[in-house]
Structure 1
Amino acid sequence: MEYTQEKFGDTEYIFVNEKEPDRPMQYMAIKTKVMSMIQEKQLKDDHGELFGFGTHMFRHYYGVKLTEMHLDDWTIARLLEHKRLNNVQHYRKMSNQRMADETREVRQMMSDIIYMSLAGWGEEYEQIRQDD
């Protein structure tokens, strides 16, 4: 966005048509530019394959970020122009890392409660504390 702002000034588009800056860049032009960058830089996924790319990835990423902000389904559906709320479920799939981050505080609180309960139960339970 910063690049677009510097090159084209204030615009409502992130990807601007270079020949007609008041218009958005077409989907195929975006895809072609990104795919050539992937090829040129040899950008690979976790399986060693070149990244696949479609412009819908931007929309999906936006949907995921909206769910991470804990917006309600109705608002997300409106922002993404979905007609049905059940489409939002595709964006709500949480990664393992995100789930760990979101629940860390509660898990620590539960561990503290368990450790307080075990205090004074004798040496046989001391091993549990040391293994943590």
Structure 2
Amino acid sequence: MNIIISNASKEPIYEQITKQIKNNILNEILKEGEALPSIRNLARELKISVITTKRAYEELERQEFIETIPGKGSYVAPQNKEMLREQKIKIVEDKLIDAIKEASIAGIGKEELKEMLDILYDSIL
């Protein structure tokens, strides 16, 4: 699993881990039932405290992204497809909000922004 920790980030390390694993699950890079590295192995790989890794896994379990089986390890939990879709929609909405703010700063109006979105959408799909 490829997790990148930034010491320059204002976000706590456990949140960086949680966010990246969650994104991997939402983007189906990590599949249902797939085993995650053990807490100790991930801590060793990232050169961080086991406590930090444990906190990230506990948060993911609380949010029902992973499930832990004592003595066996942690696995990607089955995902509710509708909930998964809603979470993806939320990610898109957040990115669109950022784009709208940037457009506003650049003096780009609503109609011009819609036109840009139409062109980009059509060129990608």
- TM-score tier (shorter): under 0.3
Normalising by the residue count of structure 1, what TM-score does the alignment of the two structures yield? 0.26
More strand by share: 2
Q: Report which structure shows greater RCO (CA 8 Å, sep ≥6).
A: 2
Normalising by the residue count of structure 2, what TM-score does the alignment of the two structures yield? 0.27
Larger radius of gyration: 1
